[in-house]
Amino acid sequence: MHFRKVTNFEDFLSLKEQWNSLVKSTDVDHAFMRHEWFESWINHLMPKGQLIIHTAWNNDRLVAIAPLQITRQIRKKIPLRLLSFLRSSVTPRSNFIVDNSIDSDLFFDSIFNSRGWDVAEFQAVELGQQITDKFIDYLKKNQQFVIEEGLQSPYEIIDSNWEIYLKNRSLKFKKNYRNSLNRLKKASSYQIIRIENFEDFHKYYENMVEISNKSWKSEGKTDLKSVPRMANFYYDFCKLSSKDNLFLSIVLIIDRNPAAFSFYLKFHNRLVALRWEYDEQYKYYAPGTVLKNDIIKSMLDKGIILEFDLSGMSTPHKKKVVNRIRKHIDITVGNPGFYGSIIISLKKKFMKSQDISSDIIL
């Protein structure tokens, strides 16, 4: 096995076929671990920094990927070279992509023995994955590190038909759903449009941007019109991934006007919600409830056992929709050098002062 660092975009692009084949063979087989996702992210959301994707090869076969970057940051007034995943708040979770047949410790050694970093941060790493367990075991033997609680992400696995699913919901849930449908029926007209190809996404793209701009997100300037790089990220991802049907978007039209939309990653009977937004003037119709239940019903009507993942942090609203929590951790690793040792020491002191134990988190 030999190792290679990919530090330029052109070399990254050349990995696409083998990258996706490797993802499919692992337990991190998600749409947001695919090459198309990272290509769009690097093009539109990557901060100023250095691409540094670590790879491992058996002869000419790609067997491991660490999709990483190095950025310069200041922590506790200490200037650092930070090694981290290629991710941001739009990324549901992150991990290493490693063939189960290889010795992953050798791959991790190749990463941490490389030069040019002081501290490594690996955020939103899902617990319970085989590669996560291997990484933690490696760290315990070889590195100074701290583990902290990360995302507590809500989801549900639905293995019934729509009638049973609805029957098992709370009385309040059923009442809200019934009211939203009754209100919609009072409108002059309404239409729910499901978008699963780039041609249709392109057709409604500007409508979705305008809906976002008229939603509650505009107040905080996090709507798609205020953050064009985010809008461009979604657009390019849909363009790149349309062939493999990695996304699903739904648009609600009320009285011939675009009123709401939702956007999901769609992969292996999983839906991962990334955005739900509606024009505030249509709040009366509870468009979020309409779209959410429409997509669940449409999937269950096909006889699909559905994993419905709301991603991000758990909120009171999300807890009303789904009934499970997917736990993640944030891992900080310090280079044996001066700065890395200081950061790990400070983190451990803080956790001790707050009576936080990594064993409790794990």
- Same-domain check for residues 147 and 7: yes
Query: 48 or 102: whose pLDDT is higher?
Result: 102
Tell me what pLDDT residue 347 has: 84
Q: Which residue has the tokens 């849930």?
A: 173
**Domain identity same for 22 and 123:** yes
Average pLDDT over residues 217-229: 96
pLDDT at 319: 85
Question: Residue 316 falls within a domain, yes or no?
Answer: no
In this predicted structure, the answer to whether residue 324 has a pLDDT above a threshold of 70 is yes
* pLDDT > 90? residue 353: no
For residue 171, is pLDDT > 90? yes
Residue type (1 letter), 91: T
Q: What number is the average pLDDT over the span 335-342? A: 85
Residues 89, 230 within the same domain: no
Looking at the fold, whether 7 and 25 belong to one and the same domain comes out as yes
What is the CATH classification number for the domain harbouring 60? 3.40.630.30
Q: Say yes or no: 352 and 297 in one domain.
A: no
123-163 pLDDT per residue, tens: 999 999 999 999 999 999 999 999 999 999 999 999 999 99
pLDDT of residue 362: 59
Instruction: Identify whether 7 is part of a domain.
Output: yes
Are the CB atoms for 143 and 351 separated by under 8 Å?
A: no
The rounded distance, in Å, linking the Cα atoms of 209 and 64 is 37
Output phi, psi for 287, to 5 deg.
Answer: -60, -30
Residue burial 314-347, b: 16+ Cβ < 10 Å; e: rest:
beeebeebbeeebebbbbbbbbeeebbebbbeeb
One domain, residues 16 and 122: yes
pLDDT digits (tens, 9 = 90+) for 82-98: 999 999 999 999 999 99
In the prediction, which pLDDT does 75 show?
A: 79
pLDDT band at 349 (very low <50, low <70, confident <90, very high): confident
Q: Tens of pLDDT along 280-292?
A: 999 999 999 999 9
Residue 318 lies in a domain: no
- pLDDT at 354 (0 to 100): 66
Residue at 192 is within a domain: yes
Out of 16-30, 56-70, 264-278, 330-344, pick the least confident.
Answer: 330-344
313 belongs to a structural domain: no
Residues 11 and 101 grouped into a single domain: yes
Across 216-224, average pLDDT: 96
Asked if 15 and 71 sit in the same domain, the reply is yes
350 band by pLDDT with thresholds 50, 70 and 90: confident
Domain that residue 258 falls in: 160-304
Residue 359 has pLDDT above 70, yes or no: no
